[in-house]
């Protein structure tokens, strides 16, 4: 199914990319894990499943793990998109994690998945919120169970060059998402991405079933 994003933002030039979905006929397994929102004390891990599942992440900076995280929408949440923001982490540290989805443990073939946090940066002194509301195609109903990924991209040769790190947000029950662009870092995580609202580009991508009614 195709998906459409309807967006009205401020003075950015926007590029919209509609990502592919996990197909219903694929094997019953989790999709590729996307790492986003990496900071000095937090990271977001997200993925898509072919059917609605309840999941958790077991993690720690040593093996065996001693902590568990749940989806941002609650411990009992069951859906096709899974968005976990883990906070309270140590900077510049490798963390190991397994995903448990519908009772099946995914441990990267026994090697565990890994993610590394970034350095500590001084908090951004102000905010600049990018936001939108997404509707089901040809409908006035807001989408649910959808993840929005964004990257900033240099468009005028000034400020930070290239692209930013990947950041993400999950839509709320009314189809809204938001991301504070002042917290977006460079790809190497060493500083905040210096952008221009007039000439730089915000790349927006959606993941999840946004084109049709939600099915149980």
Task: For residue range 81-138, list pLDDT tens digits in order.
Answer: 999 999 999 999 999 999 999 999 999 999 999 999 999 999 998 999 999 999 988 8
Where residue 210 falls among pLDDT bands split at 50, 70, 90? low
Q: Does domain 34-116 have CATH number 3.40.50.720?
A: no
Domain ranges of the chain: 13-20+122-208, 34-116
**Length of the chain measured in residues:** 216
Task: For residue range 8-44, list pLDDT tens digits in order.
Answer: 343 445 454 444 343 333 335 888 999 999 999 999 9
């Amino acid at each position: 199914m195709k998906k459409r994003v309807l967006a009205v933002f401020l003075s950015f030039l926007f590029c919209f990319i509609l990502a592919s979905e996990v197909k219903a006929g694929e094997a019953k397994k989790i999709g590729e894990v996307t790492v986003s929102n990496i900071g000095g004390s937090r990271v977001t891990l997200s993925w898509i499943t072919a059917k609605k599942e309840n999941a958790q992440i077991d993690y720690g900076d040593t093996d065996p793990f001693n902590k568990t995280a749940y989806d941002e929408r609650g411990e009992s949440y069951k859906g096709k998109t899974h968005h976990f923001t883990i906070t309270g982490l140590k900077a510049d540290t490798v963390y190991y994690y397994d995903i448990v989805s519908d009772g099946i443990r995914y441990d990267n073939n026994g090697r565990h998945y890994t993610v590394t946090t970034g350095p500590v940066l001084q908090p951004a002194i102000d905010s600049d919120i990018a936001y939108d509301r997404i509707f089901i195609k040809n409908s006035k109903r807001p989408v649910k169970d959808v993840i929005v990924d964004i990257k900033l991209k240099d468009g005028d040769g000034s400020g930070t060059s290239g692209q930013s790190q990947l950041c993400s947000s999950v839509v709320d029950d009314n189809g809204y998402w938001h991301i504070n662009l002042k917290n977006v870092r460079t790809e190497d995580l060493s500083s905040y991405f210096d952008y221009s609202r007039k000439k730089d580009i915000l790349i927006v991508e959606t993941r999840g079933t946004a084109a049709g009614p939600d099915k149980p």
